[in-house]
Amino acid sequence: MSSLKFLGGCREVGRSAVLLDTGSEKILMDYGIKLSDSESEDGIGRPEKVNLNIDGVLLTHCHLDHSGFIPNLYNRGYKGSVYATATTFDLAKTLWEDSIKIASMEGRQQDFVESDIKKIQRNQRRVTVGQTFPIVNSDVSIYGAGHVPGSSSFIVDTGEKTVMYTGDINTNDTRLMNGADPNYPDIDVLVMETTYSDIDHSPRKKLEEKFVKKIKERLAKDGVVIIPSFAIGRSQEILLILRKHGIKAPVYLDGMSVEATKKILRYPEFLRYPDELKKAYHNAKTPYNDNERKKALEGPSVIVTTAGMLGGGPFAYYIKEIYDEENCSILMTGYQVEGTAGRKLLDTGIYEPEKQGLDVKCYYEIFDFSAHCGRKELFDYVEKIDPEMVIAMHGEKAEEFIEDLEKRGQKAIAPEKGDTVSF
């Protein structure tokens, strides 16, 4: 009999971590952290520590809520392999290094050091979509997840059962990527994300049109449009949208998004329009210091910058310059987690990443450019796969989601952190 132990990511978004024990091998699937965790002293929610007697780690994609605690395995003495796409490894390295830098700047606990990242590099096993590879007696197959460049889902065939771990998935095409195609072999146990199990996203085409209309409307006021975006995935999609819709104002790309875009362009096989992204990137200007950022603010202009949830990066500089300028704008492009500076701005009108709060007078709005399946797509995904059992995680509404699945005759579970499910 096999089992799945849930070390994190249960009934919450963040710190995804699942241990598959088949009896002959133990495979860890993702090992992430949760940012802005109110239960911890330093704002970081960590998964349960796993026994280092594991046979391999499967990493679905680079985002810290899936990858952020993997270096800690090596810090504690793990000597085994991590399996992921080349794109994921390159992008995760950028995020891991940034985590060390931020922890040092903020004077908080460091879960790993630079040498641990080098250990990962020595033990990384770069795999690609369509490939099948062994871990002890199990065969692991990799499929595209449609979430961000390099993202993947894994199917583990133990010889008795097939277990699919989705990671984060998106079955809809975006400007950046093709959606995941759930054309898989028979699945016994489906472990899936449910981030937006209670929300149906707006059709992408209509959302783009609304977004671009707002940008043009705000530029007509001779102001600056700041677009805070996640460095990986979202910033590149925004560049493509701006190019597609012919935004005439100068476009700037700032922060970690610059390095991330360079790395993403190395792997065009994951992109829907790689040539267009290359053109959009080369046409964007890059400010490298505050003097150049000041020039970018002379406007009218569009500035795509980190951080996506407004908690740092060059955005912290820009907002201090434009927060009381009514002709300027902040157009958010992603979900703002509870406890982040972005959520506080939306809820209170105050920008307060540090002790000093700013009463924001400039225009601000949020647009739902999600890289996850919405409610309808999640149900369609389960229906098409038709597994024996669904295990819902990575979602605050996972319990409600499985209740709806059960009404449809599907066996489903929403485990809590620390639970073990045998099958």
Residues 239 and 159 reside in one and the same domain: no
Q: Where does 264-348 show beta strands of DSSP type E?
A: 301-305, 329-332
Place of tokens 């809590």: 416
Q: What pLDDT does 35 receive?
A: 81
* β-strand pairing of 152-157 with 162-165: antiparallel
Tokens of 67: 């990858």
Peptide bond between residue 300 and the one before it cis (omega within 30 degrees of 0): yes
Quote the CA–CA distance of 386 and 250 in Å, as a whole number: 49
State the CATH number of the domain containing residue 63. 3.60.15.10
Domain containing 226: what range?
204-366
The dihedral sign for the CA sequence 252, 243, 85, 144: positive
Q: What pLDDT does 355 receive?
A: 67
User: Would you give per-residue pLDDT tens digits along the chain (423 residues)?
Assistant: 999 999 999 999 999 999 999 999 999 999 999 987 777 878 899 999 999 999 999 999 999 999 999 999 999 999 999 999 999 999 999 999 999 998 998 888 899 999 999 999 999 999 999 999 999 999 999 999 999 999 999 999 999 999 999 999 999 999 999 999 999 999 999 999 999 999 999 999 999 999 999 999 999 999 999 999 999 999 999 999 999 999 999 999 999 999 999 999 999 999 999 999 999 999 999 999 999 999 999 989 999 999 999 988 999 999 999 999 999 999 999 888 777 899 999 999 999 877 678 999 999 999 999 999 999 999 999 999 999 999 999 999 999 999 999 999 999 999 999 999 999
Residues 82 and 210 reside in one and the same domain: no
Q: How far is CA 130 from CA 127, 145, 183, 385, in A?
A: 9, 12, 12, 18
Q: End of a domain among 366, 386, 411?
A: 366
Residues 119 and 92 reside in one and the same domain: yes
State the CATH number of the domain containing residue 241. 3.40.50.10890
Q: How far is CA 418 from CA 17, 92, 273, 422, in A?
A: 10, 26, 42, 13
Residues 255 and 289 reside in one and the same domain: yes
Residues 377 and 308 reside in one and the same domain: no
pTM more than 0.85: yes
Residues 102 and 249 reside in one and the same domain: no
- Compute how many other C-beta atoms are within 10 angstroms of the C-beta atom of residue 101: 10
Residues 125 and 167 reside in one and the same domain: yes
**DSSP letter at 422?**
E
Q: What pLDDT does 43 receive?
A: 81
Residues 124 and 192 reside in one and the same domain: yes
Q: End of a domain among 319, 335, 366?
A: 366
Residues 50 and 168 reside in one and the same domain: yes
Q: What pLDDT does 312 receive?
A: 86
Residues 105 and 173 reside in one and the same domain: yes
Residues 337 and 214 reside in one and the same domain: yes
Q: What pLDDT does 154 receive?
A: 98
Total count of domains within the chain: 2
Residues 343 and 376 reside in one and the same domain: no
Taking each helix axis from N to C end, the angle separating 256-264 and 274-283, rounded to the nearest 10 degrees, works out to 150
135 phi, psi to nearest 5 deg: -125, 105
Q: End of a domain among 346, 366, 386?
A: 366
